Chains A and B, each alone.
Chain A
Amino acid sequence: MTKPTVKLADVARLAGVCAATVSRALSQPQLVSAAMLKRVEAAVQQLHYVPDGAARALRSRSTHTVSALIPTLDNAIYARVTQALQRTLEASGYTLLLACHEFDLGAELAITRSLIARGIDGLVLVGIEHDPALFALLADCGIPYVLTWALDQSGRHPCVGFDNRVAAMRVANYLIDIGHREIAMITGITAGNDRSRARLAGVRDALVAHDIELLPQRVIEAPYSIAAGREAMQHMLALAPRPTAVICGNDVLAMGAVLECHAHGVTVPAAMSITGFDDMEAASILVPALTTVRVPMHELGHAAAQQILVRLDGEAGAPVTELAVDLIVRGTTAPPPAARQ
């Protein structure tokens, strides 16, 4: 009986790393940490592994490509995060490929399937809500992934993000603290977007805690665009009684809302307070500058890349990486007219 030949997978198992890491340790040792390299070398020696065919394994298994599936390219909302993601991946020799699903979770699954067929080593997803088949597919193919922009309450999926509900609560609480009671929200589309829903829930919860009802006519869903923000604000301005503060689901909507107030001669913040979410570069440049929630975009992208890289090296990685978000009070919020009198 001949002894079965030692395979790359056996080395990986003994060293406690993934096959891709063994490949990398053998072909590009400079990309692997010293400790990892030592473990792989020890396993290679112990098993008398002949790295014949390692290159082939490398070709078929490790593509040095990571994909990120983002909802949309529109308005460059995800630009900063993907930029940081790419920089960190590149520093480790990985290429980032992006694809968009336009908030369609079915499309997201189809694209993921096609990406896996094409060969990717890891996947970065936005948000918590995904087709269960997507998670099954990733598990089946052993592809490391990380969810971003939100926190998975179930604890089942690795994630890098922040609590969108708590952040939105903080915005609402601030407005209530400075005297607002007539509060409205222009939210992003909530279907297929758990971040939007969490932000809306946070605003609602904060209001309820202060015995304030968020009236149905005071919640308008709008796609993330300046034009949609303007249109929604136009509806808000026509309401009687008119709200004194409008919380927007992101900065793009808020910029549209501010511009619409300008167009109607409604002074921001004297006659209307407006807040955003994200703290895009343009938020600080608007006159008056936008009060918003600062999402640490760079850290988010960097940490997501690191979590993928750690897993590609066969290590466990952190199940949850929670990032701090800050309320940045600038010029678009002030006490309501009545409270000032």
Chain B
Amino acid sequence: MELLRSKRPDSATPAPVKTPRKTAKLSDVARLAKVSTATVSRALTLPHKVKPHTLERVQAAVKSLGYVAHGAARALASRRTHTIGAVIPTLDNAIFANTTHALQKTLDEAGYTLLLACHEFDAEVEVRVTRALIERGVDGLVLLGTSHDPQLYAMMSGRQIPYVLTWALDESGKHPCVGFNNRAAALQLANHLLDLGHREFAMISGITANNERARDRLRGMRDALAARGIKLAPERVIEKPYSLASGREGLRALMASANPPTAVMCGNDVLAIGAIAECNTLGINVPQQVSITGFDDMEIASLLSPGLTTVHFPTTELGQLAAANLLSRLAGRKVAWQHELPVELKVRGTTAPPARTQLRRALR
């Protein structure tokens, strides 16, 4: 199986980053003296404010490294920090947590520390936390998704900080990315349900504002239905934040209608698991009375009974590849501009032909 597809192998490769200077820096002194850089600064500028034995250690380190205090601040700002920043929507979704975990492990092995910030799906917070990371001197940044405030890109290019977008593919071709085709994944799922005979569809979508993954999944579903002449009525699309409780609420609202859907596609596995739990509560049989699907293929999806029909996203590989992408560029190596990772439809126990089709088959 072809894991990586380089879409634009000939396109401009992000510029490699300058190699760090060899001169001893404030941080080297701090490391050797086993104190914070703030303490080194203090020892050099306000020696009377520092304990005698700390001062001695700092002075010894300064001597042995041949450190020149001049321009210390600039060195602090310009040196390589061996820190990568990642900005993700939230930790409260095991799937982001798993990708970030893989990212961190790969960076760890290369001697880099990952600093993480969450924006909780708030574009303003995203700008603020990204700025905080840049101010802390990160060597590179990993962002989630392709919809970002233009300010973000301006900050990163202003400081020449290499970055990679993850989870989605940038259609503009302007930004390096490692991700999935969310629209195609939704098309696959919807076609699976259409092939089973479903015509009455609904979607419990994630919040689509500032989230192209959610938008692309909804778009893919709409496109698949449209290709077979089926329209998705507005009341059949419910937008909810990603949580089990949202999945429950969404399902209840959809099934309360006079003409309930026979297939409910959910924007991710968490929503789907919530929807299934609500079906259990309401005494609605899954998949006999309603088929339910997710996205992501979390660890729990295959372990539930019945197992969740979903789309598998190789999220561990995603984290590893995002880390590898930045590490390669920091080492001055060329990398593919766009990595598309394959997704895979996982048909399990929560999808079946709609009840009427079952009846018709039984009568045949």
Residue ranges of A at the interface with B (Cβ–Cβ < 8 Å): 63-65, 72-76, 78-80, 82-83, 86-87, 90, 95-100, 102, 110-111, 113-119, 133, 137, 140-141, 225-227, 255-256, 259, 262, 281-282, 285, 287
Main secondary structure on chain B at its contact with chain A?
helix
In the bound complex, what is the Cα–Cα distance between A86 and B280 (angstroms)? 35
Check if B97 sits within 8 Å of A79, measured CB to CB: yes
In the bound complex, what is the Cα–Cα distance between A285 and B300 (angstroms)? 12
**Closest Cβ–Cβ distance, residue B349 to chain A (whole Å):** 13
**List of A residues within 8 angstroms of B98 by Cβ:** 73-74
Check if B30 sits within 8 Å of A117, measured CB to CB: yes
The closest CB in chain A to the CB of B54 belongs to A140
**Closest Cβ–Cβ distance, residue B129 to chain A (whole Å):** 5
Check if B93 sits within 8 Å of A76, measured CB to CB: yes
**List of B residues within 8 angstroms of A99 by Cβ:** 113-116
Check if B244 sits within 8 Å of A78, measured CB to CB: no
Within 8 Å by CB of B97, from A65, A75, A96, A111, lies: A75
For chain B residues 35-88, which have a beta carbon within 8 Å of chain A? 35-39, 54, 81, 83
- B 241-259 binary contact with A (CB < 8 Å = 1; else 0): 0011100000000000000
Check if A97 sits within 8 Å of B115, measured CB to CB: yes
Within 8 Å by CB of A73, from B104, B133, B300, B305, lies: B104
Within 8 Å by CB of A76, from B30, B81, B97, lies: B97
B125 at the interface (CB under 8 A from A): yes
**Closest Cβ–Cβ distance, residue B32 to chain A (whole Å):** 12
**List of B residues within 8 angstroms of A64 by Cβ:** 132
- B 119-143 binary contact with A (CB < 8 Å = 1; else 0): 0100001001100110111000000
Check if B129 sits within 8 Å of A83, measured CB to CB: no
Check if B136 sits within 8 Å of A118, measured CB to CB: yes
B100 at the interface (CB under 8 A from A): yes
Check if A75 sits within 8 Å of B113, measured CB to CB: no
In the bound complex, what is the Cα–Cα distance between A97 and B128 (angstroms)? 11
Main secondary structure on chain A at its contact with chain B?
helix
**Closest Cβ–Cβ distance, residue B239 to chain A (whole Å):** 20
In the bound complex, what is the Cα–Cα distance between A287 and B35 (angstroms)? 52
B347 at the interface (CB under 8 A from A): no
**List of B residues within 8 angstroms of A259 by Cβ:** 303
**List of B residues within 8 angstroms of A82 by Cβ:** 91, 118
In the bound complex, what is the Cα–Cα distance between A114 and B136 (angstroms)? 10
**Closest Cβ–Cβ distance, residue A40 to chain B (whole Å):** 22
Check if A140 sits within 8 Å of B91, measured CB to CB: no
The closest CB in chain B to the CB of A256 belongs to B303
B90 at the interface (CB under 8 A from A): yes
B92 at the interface (CB under 8 A from A): yes
**List of A residues within 8 angstroms of B280 by Cβ:** 287
B149 at the interface (CB under 8 A from A): no
In the bound complex, what is the Cα–Cα distance between A226 and B116 (angstroms)? 24
**Closest Cβ–Cβ distance, residue B74 to chain A (whole Å):** 14
A-B contact pairs, 23 of them (CB 8 A): A65-B136, A74-B98, A74-B101, A76-B91, A76-B92, A79-B90, A79-B92, A83-B90, A83-B118, A86-B118, A97-B115, A97-B132, A99-B113, A100-B101, A100-B104, A116-B36, A117-B36, A117-B37, A137-B35, A227-B299, A281-B245, A282-B244, A285-B273
Closest 10 CB pairs of A and B: A79-B91, A79-B92, A117-B37, A98-B116, A118-B136, A95-B132, A73-B101, A76-B97, A116-B36, A285-B277
**Closest Cβ–Cβ distance, residue B106 to chain A (whole Å):** 13
Chain A CB within 10 A, most for which of B94, B105, B135: B94
**List of A residues within 8 angstroms of B135 by Cβ:** 63, 119
**List of B residues within 8 angstroms of A140 by Cβ:** 35-36, 39, 54
Chain B CB within 10 A, most for which of A98, A114, A117, A259: A117
Check if B244 sits within 8 Å of A285, measured CB to CB: yes
**Closest Cβ–Cβ distance, residue A317 to chain B (whole Å):** 22
B274 at the interface (CB under 8 A from A): yes
Size of B's binding interface in residues, CB under 8 A: 50
The closest CB in chain B to the CB of A285 belongs to B277
Within 8 Å by CB of A83, from B100, B120, B128, B137, lies: B120
In the bound complex, what is the Cα–Cα distance between A78 and B27 (angstroms)? 31
Given contacts A74-B97, A140-B35, A285-B277, contact A83 B115 (CB under 8 A): no
Given contacts A79-B92, A97-B116, contact A141 B36 (CB under 8 A): yes
A sample of 12 more A-B contacts (CB under 8 A), given A79-B91, A137-B36, is A75-B94, A82-B118, A83-B92, A90-B125, A97-B116, A97-B133, A98-B118, A99-B114, A116-B36, A118-B136, A140-B54, A227-B299
**List of B residues within 8 angstroms of A96 by Cβ:** 117-118, 129
**List of B residues within 8 angstroms of A86 by Cβ:** 118, 120
**Closest Cβ–Cβ distance, residue A27 to chain B (whole Å):** 17
Check if B92 sits within 8 Å of A80, measured CB to CB: yes
**Closest Cβ–Cβ distance, residue B43 to chain A (whole Å):** 11
Chain B CB within 10 A, most for which of A73, A97, A102, A227: A73
In the bound complex, what is the Cα–Cα distance between A295 and B90 (angstroms)? 20
The closest CB in chain B to the CB of A262 belongs to B305
In the bound complex, what is the Cα–Cα distance between A115 and B138 (angstroms)? 11
Given contacts A97-B133, A285-B244, contact A113 B116 (CB under 8 A): no
Within 8 Å by CB of A118, from B83, B108, B274, lies: B83
The closest CB in chain B to the CB of A117 belongs to B37
**List of B residues within 8 angstroms of A100 by Cβ:** 101, 104, 114, 116
**List of A residues within 8 angstroms of B30 by Cβ:** 113, 117
The closest CB in chain B to the CB of A137 belongs to B36
The closest CB in chain A to the CB of B305 belongs to A262
The closest CB in chain A to the CB of B76 belongs to A117
- B 307-331 binary contact with A (CB < 8 Å = 1; else 0): 0000000000000000000000000
In the bound complex, what is the Cα–Cα distance between A75 and B117 (angstroms)? 17
Within 8 Å by CB of A255, from B31, B91, B136, B300, lies: B300
Check if A97 sits within 8 Å of B136, measured CB to CB: yes
In the bound complex, what is the Cα–Cα distance between A133 and B31 (angstroms)? 13
In the bound complex, what is the Cα–Cα distance between A100 and B244 (angstroms)? 26
**List of A residues within 8 angstroms of B39 by Cβ:** 140-141
**Closest Cβ–Cβ distance, residue B209 to chain A (whole Å):** 19
Check if B91 sits within 8 Å of A226, measured CB to CB: no
**Closest Cβ–Cβ distance, residue A110 to chain B (whole Å):** 8
In the bound complex, what is the Cα–Cα distance between A107 and B273 (angstroms)? 36
Within 8 Å by CB of B100, from A73, A118, A227, A282, lies: A73
